[in-house]
Amino acid sequence: MVSTFRGGKVVGSGLVLAAAIVMGGCMSNTDNTAGSGTTHADTAAANLRTTLDSLLREHIELTAAMTDAALGGRTDEYNAAAGAVDANSTELSNVIANVYGDDQKKDFLGIWRPYIGYINDYTTALAKSDKDGEAAAVKNLVQFAQDFGTFFQTVTNGGLKQGPVADLAKQQVANIMDMVNAQASKDYAGAYTKERDAAHFMDTMAIALSDAISQQFPDKF
């Protein structure tokens, strides 16, 4: 069982519904014309989904390494992991740039990099048993989810809706917080389980984003 946010608090729930619900039940762009085989558009759409899925899963794995090192006070390891997290962020932003241009790449990074900072804030506060710091980090993470939803509603011209995308981002954050909580408690088996849960959930995010982009640009994807 993973967690989700309600009113800025983390509560238990199942996974957020799949990407088809986020997009109002739309299906991805495919060409089933008899004898056409695999079209360039099909391949491009599949590659987009695979790329996003790989990068988003990697984000979880690298974040897990970063937060575990932070909790353990392993500064050199933390710095290396944080650098890898930022490299992953740059790769994600390059996917945005390839579709929407450099201005939207900057806007994406302006939302995504602070979110990683808020994860670090939460981790540090947890290590210090700083309840006020934890609450502040959660508040910022909830705002990140709202901003993330707004960003994708804007760039997709409403193909994705702010609320459902924000809910996906809230679930993403909640999954990471579950993982960090287990790390802080030295529940190593639980931490790896939560990391796997968080990584699997990113499939849902990748499907939602890639399907919306593919439908927005059918000639390209």
pTM (global) more than 0.85: no
Q: Tokens 């408690």 identify what position?
A: 185
Q: Which residue ranges make up each domain of the chain?
A: 41-216
Average pLDDT over residues 141-151: 98
pLDDT exceeds cutoff 90 at 10: no
Q: E-strand spans in 56-180?
A: none
Q: E-strand spans in the chain?
A: 2-6, 9-13
Over the range 53-91, which residues count as b (16 or more CB within 10 Å of their CB) and which as e? bebbbbbbbbbbbbbbbbbeeeeeebeebbebbbebbee
What residues does 5 pair with on adjacent strands?
Answer: 10
pLDDT at position 12: 41
Cα 161 from Cα 168, distance rounded (Å) = 11
pLDDT digits (tens, 9 = 90+) for 201-217: 999 999 999 999 999 99
Q: Tokens 């996906």 identify what position?
A: 168
Sign of the CA dihedral 165, 137, 190, 66? positive
